[in-house]
Amino acid sequence: MKIIIAGAGAVGTHLAKLLSSEKQDIILLDEDEERLETLNSNFDLMTHIGSPTSINCLKEVDVKSADLFIAVTPDESRNITACMLASNLGAGKTVARIDNHEYLQPKNKDFFKELGVDSLIYPELLAAEEIISAMKMSWVRQWWEFCDGAIVLIGVRIRENAELLDTTLSELSSSESPFHIVAIKRNQETIIPRGKDTIELNDIVYFTTTKKYISYIRKVTGKEDYPDVRNIMIMGGSRIAARTAEYAPDYINIKILDTNIDRCNRLSEALDNRIMILNGDARDMDLLIDEGIRHTDAFIALTGNSESNILACLAAKRMGVAKTIAEVENVDFIPMAESLDIGTIINKKFITASHIYQMMLDVDVSNVKCLTFADADVAEFTVKKDSRVTKKTVQHLGIPKGFAIGGLVRNGEGILVNGDTQIKEGDHVVVFCLNTMIKKIEKLFN
Amino acid sequence: MINLKLIARIIGVLLLIESAMLLFCSGVSLFYQGDDLTSFIYTAIISAIVGVLLTFLSKGAEKYLSRRDGYLVVALSWIVVSIVGTIPFYHSGYIPNLADAYFESISGFSSTGSTILDNIEELPHGILFWRSLSQWIGGLGIIVFTIAILPLFGVSSIQLFAAESSSPSYDKVHPRISVTAKWIWGIYAGLTALQTGLLWLGDMSFFDSICHSFATTSTGGFSTKQSSIAFYHSSYIEYVISFFMIFSGINFTVLLLMLTGKFKKIIKNSELKYYLTSVIILTLIITVGLNYTSNYDLEKAFRVALFQIGSIHTSTGFATDNYMSWAPFLWGLLFIPMIVGACAGSTSGGFKCIRMVILSKITFHEFKRMIHPNVVLRVKVNEQTLPNTIQSTILAFSFTFILITLTSTLLIMATGVEFLESFGVVISSISNMGPGFGRFGPDFSWSGLPEVAKWICSFLMLIGRLELFTILLLLTPGFWKD
A390: distance to nearest CA of chain B, Å? 59
Residue A369 confidence (pLDDT)? 46
Residue B86 confidence (pLDDT)? 93
Amino acid residing at B446: W
In 3D, which of A246, A273, A255 has the Cα closest to residue A321?
Answer: A255
Q: Which of A284-288, B116-120, B279-283, B438-442 has the highest mean pLDDT?
A: B279-283
B205 reaches A (C-beta below 8 A): no
Task: Round to whole Å and give the CA distance between A63 and A82.
Answer: 11
Residues of chain B found within 8 Å of residue A261, distances taken between Cβ atoms: 376
Task: Round to whole Å and give the CA distance between A131 and B450.
Answer: 72
- The separation between CA A236 and the C-alpha centre of its own chain, rounded to angstroms, equals 22
Task: Round to whole Å and give the CA distance between B457 and B462.
Answer: 9
Residue A279 confidence (pLDDT)? 92
B367 reaches A (C-beta below 8 A): no
The answer to whether residue B383 scores a pLDDT higher than 80 is no
- Judge whether B45 lies within some domain: no
Task: Round to whole Å and give the CA distance between B474 and B71.
Answer: 8
Residue A374 confidence (pLDDT)? 54
Residues contacting residue B329 through CB under 8 Å, at least 6 positions apart: B289
Residue A45, classed as helix, strand or coil, is coil
Residue A373 confidence (pLDDT)? 52
Band (B154; pLDDT cuts 50, 70, 90): very low
Question: How confident is the model over A223-251, as a mean pLDDT?
Answer: 86
Nearest residue on chain A to B384, alpha-carbon basis: A269
B174 reaches A (C-beta below 8 A): no
The answer to whether residue B458 scores a pLDDT higher than 90 is yes
Mutate to test the interface with B, among A234, A259, A276 (most CBs of B within 10 A): A276
Question: How confident is the model over A164-175, as a mean pLDDT?
Answer: 73
Residue A439 confidence (pLDDT)? 63
Task: Round to whole Å and give the CA distance between A28 and A14.
Answer: 11
B372 reaches A (C-beta below 8 A): yes
Residue A251 confidence (pLDDT)? 87
Question: How confident is the model over A76-100, as a mean pLDDT?
Answer: 90
A266: distance to nearest CA of chain B, Å? 9
Comparing A291 with A413, the larger pLDDT belongs to A291
What's the mean pLDDT when you consider all of chain A? 81
Residues contacting residue B93 through CB under 8 Å, at least 6 positions apart: none
B394: distance to nearest CA of chain A, Å? 19
Residue A20 confidence (pLDDT)? 77
Question: How confident is the model over B333-344, as a mean pLDDT?
Answer: 89
The beta-carbon neighbor of B377 closest among A257, A268, A287 is A268
Cβ–Cβ of A267/B376 closer than 8 Å?
Answer: yes
pLDDT in tens, A316-336: 988 888 888 999 988 788 888
Residue B344 confidence (pLDDT)? 77
The beta-carbon neighbor of B374 closest among A267, A269, A279 is A279
Residue A363 confidence (pLDDT)? 53
In 3D, which of A215, A145, A221, A149 has the Cα closest to residue A181?
Answer: A221
Residue B403 confidence (pLDDT)? 96
The beta-carbon neighbor of B374 closest among A265, A268, A278 is A278
Residues of chain B found within 8 Å of residue A278, distances taken between Cβ atoms: 372, 374-376
B388 reaches A (C-beta below 8 A): no
The answer to whether residue B305 scores a pLDDT higher than 80 is yes
A275 reaches B (C-beta below 8 A): no
Q: Do domains A128-220 and A356-445 have the same CATH topology?
A: yes
Chain A / chain B CB contacts < 8 angstroms? 31
Residue A375 confidence (pLDDT)? 63
Task: Round to whole Å and give the CA distance between A437 and A440.
Answer: 5
A215 reaches B (C-beta below 8 A): no
Cβ–Cβ of A277/B380 closer than 8 Å?
Answer: no
Which CATH class name applies to A356-445?
alpha beta
**Helix or strand (DSSP H, E) at A121:** strand A119-121
Q: A71: which strand partners? A: A6, A96
Question: How confident is the model over B379-401, as a mean pLDDT?
Answer: 83
Domain locations in chain A as residue ranges:
2-121, 128-220, 231-351, 356-445
The answer to whether residue B4 scores a pLDDT higher than 80 is yes
Cβ pair B425, B417 in contact under 8 A: yes
B371 reaches A (C-beta below 8 A): no
Residues contacting residue B221 through CB under 8 Å, at least 6 positions apart: B111, B112, B113, B135, B215, B311, B315, B316, B317, B318, B433, B434
Q: Which of A108-112, B180-184, B288-292, B471-475 has the highest mean pLDDT?
A: B288-292
Task: Round to whole Å and give the CA distance between B95 and B88.
Answer: 9
- Cα–Cα distances in Å, from B225 out to A77, A325, B196, B266, B429? 67, 74, 16, 37, 21
- Judge whether B432 lies within some domain: yes
The answer to whether residue A386 scores a pLDDT higher than 70 is yes
Residues of chain B found within 8 Å of residue A267, distances taken between Cβ atoms: 376
Q: Is the Cα torsion angle A283, A285, A289, A290 positive or negative in sign? A: negative
Cβ pair A268, A237 in contact under 8 A: no
Q: What's A383's DSSP letter?
A: P
Cβ pair A402, A434 in contact under 8 A: yes
Residues of chain B found within 8 Å of residue A287, distances taken between Cβ atoms: 374
Burial of A230 (0-12, 13-18, 19+ CB in 10 A): middle
Task: Round to whole Å and give the CA distance between A374 and A207.
Answer: 13
Cβ pair A26, A46 in contact under 8 A: yes
B295 reaches A (C-beta below 8 A): no
Q: What is the dihedral of CA B199, B205, B211, B214, to 10 degrees?
A: 20
Which CATH class name applies to A128-220?
alpha beta
Residues contacting residue A318 through CB under 8 Å, at least 6 positions apart: none
Cβ–Cβ of A261/B374 closer than 8 Å?
Answer: no
Comparing A301 with B482, the larger pLDDT belongs to A301
Percentage of chain A with pLDDT > 70?
A: 91
Comparing B409 with A373, the larger pLDDT belongs to B409
Residues of chain A found within 8 Å of residue B380, distances taken between Cβ atoms: 269, 273
Mutate to test the interface with A, among B374, B379, B382 (most CBs of A within 10 A): B374
> Among the listed ranges A361-375, B252-266, B338-352, which one has the minimum average pLDDT value?
A361-375
The beta-carbon neighbor of A278 closest among B372, B378, B380 is B372
Band (A173; pLDDT cuts 50, 70, 90): low
Task: Round to whole Å and give the CA distance between B24 and B45.
Answer: 13
Question: How confident is the model over B62-77, as a mean pLDDT?
Answer: 80
Cβ pair A74, A9 in contact under 8 A: yes
**Helix or strand (DSSP H, E) at A29:** strand A25-30
A238: distance to nearest CA of chain B, Å? 15
Residue B165 confidence (pLDDT)? 43
Band (B177; pLDDT cuts 50, 70, 90): low
A268: distance to nearest CA of chain B, Å? 6
Question: How confident is the model over B15-35, as a mean pLDDT?
Answer: 91
Structural domains of chain B, count:
1
Question: How confident is the model over B408-418, as a mean pLDDT?
Answer: 94
pLDDT in tens, A132-141: 888 877 777 7
Q: What is the dihedral of CA B426, B427, B431, B432, to 10 degrees?
A: -50
Q: What's A229's DSSP letter?
A: P
First to last CA, chain A: 20
pTM above 0.80, yes or no: no
How many degrees, rounded to 5, is the angle at CA B246 between CA B240 and CA B247?
Answer: 85
Residues of chain A found within 8 Å of residue B376, distances taken between Cβ atoms: 261, 264-265, 267-268, 277-279
Q: What's A32's DSSP letter?
A: -
Cβ–Cβ of B376/A269 closer than 8 Å?
Answer: no
Residue B146 confidence (pLDDT)? 41
Burial of A96 (0-12, 13-18, 19+ CB in 10 A): buried
Nearest residue on chain B to A256, alpha-carbon basis: B375
Cα-atom radius of gyration of chain A, to the nearest Å? 23
- Judge whether B323 lies within some domain: no
- Judge whether B428 lies within some domain: yes
Cβ pair B155, B106 in contact under 8 A: no
- Judge whether B300 lies within some domain: no
Residue A234 confidence (pLDDT)? 93
Question: How confident is the model over B263-277, as a mean pLDDT?
Answer: 86
What's the mean pLDDT when you consider all of chain B? 85
A286 reaches B (C-beta below 8 A): no
Cβ–Cβ of B374/A269 closer than 8 Å?
Answer: no
The beta-carbon neighbor of A268 closest among B372, B374, B378 is B378
- The separation between CA A206 and the C-alpha centre of its own chain, rounded to angstroms, equals 15
B377 reaches A (C-beta below 8 A): yes
Cβ–Cβ of A267/B374 closer than 8 Å?
Answer: no
Cβ–Cβ of B375/A279 closer than 8 Å?
Answer: yes
B369 reaches A (C-beta below 8 A): no
Residue A438 confidence (pLDDT)? 63
Task: Round to whole Å and give the CA distance between B273 and B212.
Answer: 27
- Range(s) of the domain holding residue B403: 384-480
The beta-carbon neighbor of A287 closest among B374, B376, B378 is B374
Domain A231-351 grouped into CATH 3.40.50.720: yes
Comparing A158 with B281, the larger pLDDT belongs to B281
The answer to whether residue B171 scores a pLDDT higher than 60 is no
B407 reaches A (C-beta below 8 A): no
Three-state secondary structure along chain B? Answer: CCCHHHHHHHHHHHHHHHHHHHHHHHHHHHHCCCCCHHHHHHHHHHHHHHHHHHHHHCCCCCCCCCHHHHHHHHHHHHHHHHHHHHHHHHHCCCCCCHHHHHHHHHHHHCCCCCCCCCCHHHCCHHHHHHHHHHHHHHHHCHHHHHHCCHHHHCCCCHHHHHHHCCCCCCCCCCCCHHHHHHHHHHHHHHHHHHHHHHHHHCCCCHHHHHHHHHHHHCCCCCCCCCCHHHHHCCHHHHHHHHHHHHHHCCCHHHHHHHHCCCHHHHHCCHHHHHHHHHHHHHHHHHHHHHHHHCCCCHHHHHHHHHHHHHHHHCCCCCCCCCHHHCCHHHHHHCHHHHHHCCCCCCCCCCCCHHHHHHHHHHHHHHHHHHHCCCEECCCEECCEECCHHHHHHHHHHHHHHHHHHHHHHHHHHHCCCCHHHHHHHHHHHHCCCCCCCHHHCCCCCCCCCCHHHHHHHHHHHHHHHCCCHHHHHHCCHHHHCC
The beta-carbon neighbor of A278 closest among B376, B378, B385 is B376
B467: phi then psi, degrees, rounded to nearest 5: 55, 45
Cβ–Cβ of A273/B380 closer than 8 Å?
Answer: yes
Residue B210 confidence (pLDDT)? 93
The answer to whether residue A418 scores a pLDDT higher than 80 is no
Mutate to test the interface with A, among B361, B371, B376 (most CBs of A within 10 A): B376
> Among the listed ranges A62-66, A274-278, A355-359, which one has the minimum average pLDDT value?
A355-359
Question: How confident is the model over B250-279, as a mean pLDDT?
Answer: 84
Q: Is the Cα torsion angle B94, B99, B103, B106 positive or negative in sign? A: positive
Band (B150; pLDDT cuts 50, 70, 90): very low
- Cα–Cα distances in Å, from B373 out to A255, A300, B124? 13, 21, 66
A288: distance to nearest CA of chain B, Å? 11
Question: How confident is the model over B91-97, as a mean pLDDT?
Answer: 89
Cβ–Cβ of B374/A280 closer than 8 Å?
Answer: yes
pLDDT in tens, A348-375: 887 887 777 766 665 554 444 445 555 6
Q: A49: which strand partners? A: A30
B276: distance to nearest CA of chain A, Å? 23
Residues contacting residue B63 through CB under 8 Å, at least 6 positions apart: B6, B153, B154, B155
B385: distance to nearest CA of chain A, Å? 6
B375: distance to nearest CA of chain A, Å? 4
B360 reaches A (C-beta below 8 A): no
A437: distance to nearest CA of chain B, Å? 54
Q: What is the dihedral of CA B195, B201, B205, B208, to 10 degrees?
A: -10
The beta-carbon neighbor of A278 closest among B375, B378, B385 is B375
Domain A2-121 grouped into CATH 3.40.50.720: yes
Residue A3, classed as helix, strand or coil, is strand
